[in-house]
A and B are shown apart, each in its own frame.
Chain A
Amino acid sequence: AQSVTQLDSHVSVSEGTPVLLRCNYSSSYSPSLFWYVQHPNKGLQLLLKYTSAATLVKGINGFEAEFKKSETSFHLTKPSAHMSDAAEYFCVVTLRYGGATNKLIFGTGTLLAVQP
């Protein structure tokens, strides 16, 4: 069965320091993986997605993630945190249902706090 585990429910960093949000996945076939971000009182926005074209995926706002099959991981990183990065981040794996329909399976989320 497909699932994702976000290893930290809360992460706190100082502005200007690196960000690492960890995600491990379980999938019985080659997965599609996503990171979404949710700012307070806002809907979810796609940060980046892994589509098997390249293992290092670059997203919006300076975020990137590396797909590591041997470690079944898809960790999200950013070299230098900004105050505006404070939000909740969700790692997502796709489960195929029937024909071409996909279901998104969400992790439990990581709340990122950025201290000045």
Chain B
Amino acid sequence: DVKVTQSSRYLVKRTGEKVFLECVQDMDHENMFWYRQDPGLGLRLIYFSYDVKMKEKGDIPEGYSVSREKKERFSLILESASTNQTSMYLCASSLSTGMNTEAFFGQGTRLTVV
């Protein structure tokens, strides 16, 4: 089974802190994604990566950055956390084999910024 592991289930951080969310997948997938999930808004794409050291902005990249130094690991960085970044963050991975490829998701990290 594909496994996507997010390092923390729950995090509480203070406003202005630099926050790192880590994600690791064990299936050698090329693509990795970071989404945030908010009630009534579904999942919105923050950033994605299709190869090591490659990254592309999603729909809501402001206030975030990412790092992909190794194929299996994709990190989301909140440069200076703000209360409006309180949310559930979901990491996903997929193969680059065409349109029908499904994505596999981690359990999510619920981040609270106080």
Residues on A lying within 8 angstroms of B by beta carbon are: 9, 31-32, 34, 36, 42-46, 49, 51, 90, 94, 96-104, 106-109
Contact = CB atoms under 8 A, between A and B. Distances in A.
Interface string B12-41: 000000000000000000110101000011
A96 B101 CA distance: 11
Given A9-B40, A98-B50, A108-B40, A103 B101 contact: no
B81 interface: no
B102 A34 contact: yes
Contacts of A97: 48, 50, 56
Contacts of A101: 30-31, 48, 50, 96
Q: Please name the 6 residue pairs, one residue from A and one from B, whose CB atoms are nearest each other, closest first.
A: A106-B43, A108-B42, A44-B105, A106-B42, A32-B99, A101-B50
Contacts of A32: 99-100
Q: Classify the interface of chain A: helix, strand, loop or mixed.
A: strand
8 contacts: A36-B105, A44-B105, A51-B100, A101-B50, A103-B33, A104-B33, A104-B92, A108-B42
Nearest to B103: A104
A112 B33 CA distance: 26
A109 B42 contact: yes
A9 B102 CA distance: 24
Sort chain B's interface into a size bin: 20 to 34
A100 B48 contact: no
Given A90-B43, A101-B31, A102-B31, A43 B100 contact: no
B76 interface: no
A51 B105 CA distance: 20
B111 interface: no
Contact of B45 (A34, A94, A103): A103
Contact of A43 (B42, B56, B102, B106): B106
Contacts of B97: 100
B42 A103 contact: no
Contacts of A43: 4, 90, 105-108
B58 interface: yes
Q: Among A90, A98, A101, which residue has the most Cβ atoms of chain B within 10 A?
A: A101
Interface string B72-114: 0000000000000000001010101111111111111000000
